[in-house]
Amino acid sequence: MLRIHHRLALYFSRWHPLRRITAIFLSVALSFALIDFLHPQWRAMPRPTPIMVSPPPEDPPPPLAVEVKMDGAAYHPFIPTPPSRAVANKTVRPIRAHAAIPDACLDKWISTGLWQHPCTSDVARDHASNRIDLVYMWVNGSDPVHQAQRTSHLVGVGSSSPPAAARFREHDELRYSLRAARNVTRRWPGGSTTHIVSGDVRYPDSAAHSHSALGEDGVDGGEDEHEHEQQQRLGLVPQWLDLKVEGDVDMFETEQLQSRFKLKRKGAANSFPPSYVHYYSSANQTSPSNPNFAHLNPEEVSDQIIALNDDQFLTRSFPPHAFHSPLYGPVFRLGTLLVDADARGEEDGGGEWRALHWTAWVLDQRFGARRRPYVLHYARALSLPLLHELGRLLSPPTHYIVERHREALLWSWVVGKWGGGPGGDESSPNQAGILDRNKKRGMWAELGGAQGRDTVRLRRRERVAPDDVEVNLDEAGDWICRTLRRRSVSIDGYSTSYRRVSASTVIRRSECIVDRVEDAWDMFRRVVKEKPACGDSIIAALMRTSTRGLSVFLPPPSAPLTLSSHSHSNSTARPDRPPLSHQNPLILPLALPPHAPPFPADPRAFAVRLLMRYAYAVADTPSIFMSLTSAAQTKRLLAGADRNERAGFLCVNDDLPDAGGEGEKVDGMLRRWFEKRWGEKLECEV
C-alpha cells in the first residue's frame, strides 16, 4: 500500500495495516531546521510525561481532491494543520526491541559480551520490534513551481549567489532507488515500509500566503491563525506515481512545520553565530542531522530506520543486521576523514560542509572538543527514539549515539561504580557520591597504576568482541552475513577512531584522577567534556583488563542505594524513586548540569540499560561514489560500476556544470543505465 503524507505529524490518527511499499510524503520546511531546540529547558533526568491533547473544536474540513494538474504536472493539494493543534512530544522513547529483553539477560550480555543463558534465541525473531523501515528525503528540484518559489525566496533574502543547478537537477533517481531497495528488503522478515519525506509549495493561484513572507532580517515573520487555516499548499509527488490506484494510495494531511521550526530572534546570538543565521535563511540548507526524522510518527514508523537520499542505491542483497540488530544496534559506515569544528560558518555553503563543520562545533560544546570521522555518504542506519532524543540538541545522529555510549561507560565507572558506594576515609565515612582519597587510590589501581607513580603506559591487548559477532547473532536467532566486516562494536568500548584501540595509552593520575576529595559527578563531567582525552584513556585502560564484555565498568549488584545528606547529589536525590524499568526509561541529562541528578535506585540496572540504549557497530562495506563531472567521465564510471560485483552501496552525485549541455547528455545516460539495472517496476508505478 502506498500512503502519502505531507508535513510531519505531531497530531496523529491510526493507520490501516500496511500491505506493500508505503511512501509517506512529509513536507520539509524549505528554509529552516531545528534551531528552536537550541533553547530547551533541560530537566536533570527526563521522565515520560503524559501530554493532554484537546480535541479540535470542529470537524476537519472535507478532503480536497487527490491530485491537481498544473502544466501537466501532478500535485497533492492539502490545507496544513494550524499550529494550535500541534503538540511537541518530549517523552523519552524506549527502544521497543530492548523492552522485550529481561534485565538478567541484558546484564549477562553487557557484562560478558556473550549471548548465553539466561538469554534466549528468539530475540531477533521478534519481527515487529526489529522491523527496519526506509526513510527517503526527496524534493523534485526540477519542478517548475518549486523552481519559481525557490528563486523568489532567494531574491527575498538578498542572496547574490544561488546554488548550482546540479543541486536540484532531477534524473528520476528516486524511482530506481526505490526499486533497488525493494529488491533488497522484500525478503526481510516482518517486511519493510518505505517512507518519503517530500517538499511542498504554495498554491500559485492562492492569495492566502502572505503570512509566509520573510521579515526584514530574513527570518520568518509571524502568522495569523485564520490565515494559516485558509492556506492551501501543493505537495510534491513523483510524476510516475499513480495517486488514484484503488486500495494502494492513501492521502494524509498532518502538522505544518514551517511555523514550528523558525529561527528565533530572541537570544539567537548566544546559541549560534550570525553568519549561520544567514546561511540557514539564504541557502535553504538543513543540518545533516535531518531533524525532521525525529518527528516521524512512532506508531507507524519502525524504531530502526535506514535514511537515504534519492541518489543513494542499495546494489546487493543485505540481511537486516547489516544495518541494525537488537544486540549491536545501528551499524555505521565511517570514513577516514576527520571533521573539524567551525563556529563561524565560513566553510563552503554550496553543499554539506558548512553544516558538517558547524554541527561538529555543536557536538564539541556538549561532549568536548575532538575531530570526528566523516559519515560516509550512503544509506545510513539510524534509531528513531534516539533521533527524537537528540532533536533537542541539533546534533548529527551518528556521533551523538557514539558520544552518549562513551558517556554511559564513564558514568557507569566513575559515578555508578566508584561514586555509588560508601567512602573509606575518616573524613567521609559512608558518603555515597563522594570520591575520597581511598577511592581514588582504588580507581588508579584498577587502571593499572602503581601507588607513588603518576603515569602508566598500557600496551594494547586484543579483544575478541568483533570476532564474536557471528556467534552471538546466531545464538539470538539472527541471519548470518559473512561478507559484512565489522570494524568494531560498542561492547568493545570506545576509541577516537572508532576502530581498534590505539597501540598504547598513557594516563596521568595528576591530570585525570586528581588526588583530592570530590563529588563523583564532578569527576565524571571533567573526563567527559573538560578533559576528553582523560575519558578516552580511562576507557582504553579498562578495556585492556579483559578480552570481552564491559563488566569492569559496571557497579556491583546491590540493593537500592540511598544517598547521604552530605552529598551534592542529595539536593535532587529521591530515595523513594521506584526501581528502574525498561517500560519507563531514564537517561542521563541531555545537558550535564553542575550538580548530580537523582541517583538511580539500581545503578547497575540503569547502567546496563543505558549502555544497551546507545549500542552501535561500525562496519566496512564495499561501495561506489560517483561524482559526475562530464558525459565522457560518466560513461566510464557507469561501465566500472557494471564490473564491480562486490559493491553494496552506490551514490550518484550530480556535479555537472550548469553550461555546456553536459547535464542533458548525462541525464539520458543515467536514465538508460538505471532502467537496465533496475527494470522491474514498483506496483505503485503508472
Please report the sign of the dihedral spanned by the C-alpha atoms of residue 123, residue 124, residue 126, residue 131: positive
Please list the residues that pair with 373 across neighbouring strands.
Answer: 338
Q: Which three cell numbers stand for residue 531?
A: 578533559
Distance CA 345, CA 279 (A): 8
Lowest mean pLDDT segment, chosen from 102-106, 230-234, 479-483? 479-483
Q: What is the DSSP string of 167-222?
A: GT---SHHHHHHHHHHHHHTTSTT---EEEEE-EEE-TT-STTGGG-B-TTSSB--
Q: How far is CA 457 from CA 127, 509, 537, in A?
A: 46, 12, 10
Rounded CA-CA distance 643/646 in Å is: 9
C-alpha span between 575 and 543 (Å, rounded):
32
Cα–Cα separations (whole angstroms), residue 348 to 309, 355, 581, 653: 21, 9, 46, 17
- By the 10 Å C-beta count (0-12 exposed, 13-18 middle, 19+ buried), 630 is classed as middle
Spatial separation of the C-alpha atoms in residues 434 and 516, rounded to whole Å = 11
Cα–Cα distance for residue pair 475/58, rounded to 1 Å: 54
Check: pTM over 0.85? Answer yes or no: no
User: What residue type is 370 in one-letter code?
Assistant: R
Which of the given ranges, 38-52, 74-88, 628-642, has the highest pLDDT on average? Answer: 628-642
- Checking if the pLDDT of 503 tops 60, the result is no
pLDDT digits (tens, 9 = 90+) for 420-445: 865 444 444 445 589 999 999 999 99
Cα–Cα dist 570/577, whole Å? 13
Residues in CB range of 537: below 8 A, 6 or more apart: 505, 506, 507, 512
Does residue 101 or residue 262 have the better pLDDT? 101
**What rounded mean pLDDT belongs to the chain?**
75
Helix (H) or strand (E) holding 620: strand 617-620
**How far apart, in Å, are the Cα atoms of 611 and each of 163, 313, 563, 589?**
42, 32, 23, 15
pLDDT of residue 247: 47
C-alpha cell at 279: 546561511
User: Is 60 exceeded by the pLDDT of residue 580?
Assistant: no
State pLDDT tens for residues 277-304: 222 222 223 333 344 566 677 777 899 9
56 vs 454, which has greater pLDDT? 454
Note the pLDDT tens digit of each residue in 221-266: 444 545 544 578 888 888 998 766 554 444 443 333 322 222 222 2
Kindly list the domain boundaries of the chain, sorted by start residue: 2-94+122-333+378-394, 401-617
Q: Residues 285, 291, 293, CA angle at the centre, nearest 5°?
A: 120
Q: Are 189 and 162 in contact (CB under 8 A)?
A: no
Query: In this predicted structure, which of 77-86, 221-230, 292-301, 307-316 has the lowest mean pLDDT?
Result: 221-230
pLDDT of 587 over the 80 cut: yes
Q: Give the Cα separation of 281 and 258 in Å (integer).
A: 13
Whole-number pLDDT of residue 466? 66
Does position 41 have pLDDT exceeding 50, yes or no?
A: no
Q: CA 562, CA 307: separation in Å to the nearest integer?
A: 44
Distance of CA 67 to the CA centre of its chain: 33
Q: Indicate the burial class of 642 (C-beta count within 10 angstroms; 0-12, 13-18, 19 or more).
A: exposed
**Which residues have CB under 8 Å from 161's CB, separation 6+?**
none
Average pLDDT over residues 20-27: 37
More confident call, 560 vs 99: 99
Buried b (16+ CB within 10 A) or exposed e, 251-287: bbbbbbbbbbbbbeeeebeebbbeebbbbbbbbbbbb
411/620: higher pLDDT = 411
The set of residues, in sequence order, having a beta carbon less than 8 Å from that of 134 and lying 6+ positions away, is 181, 185, 192, 193, 194, 195, 305, 306, 308
